[in-house]
Amino acid sequence: MFWNKKKTLLNHIKYDPKTMRPVIRCSICTGEQVAGFKDRATGQFTEYGLIRDAQDLEEFKRTFGLTNVEKEY
């Protein structure tokens, strides 16, 4: 299960590959990684949840049927 920074369970995101792309936002200062989706037109990021380890990343990919997720710093 994924939780956001405010400890809210996140399982309500509707992913549309035509308008959104999966992204892992990475902090260069703290190393924190957040999974989510970026709107292709506006660039708005919708947070899905924290990536604490490889298992979280695999769960994110499996949940949305992803094979590759770009990282942004």
Q: What is the pLDDT of residue 42?
A: 96
Stated pTM of the model: 0.79
pLDDT band per the 50, 70, 90 thresholds, residue 63: confident
Yes or no: say if 45 and 37 are a contact pair by the CB < 8 Å rule. yes
Q: What is the mean pLDDT of residues 12-20?
A: 87
18-51 pLDDT, tens per residue? 999 999 999 999 999 999 999 999 999 998 889 9
Residue-averaged pLDDT of the chain: 86
Q: Delimit the domains of the chain by residue range.
A: 20-72
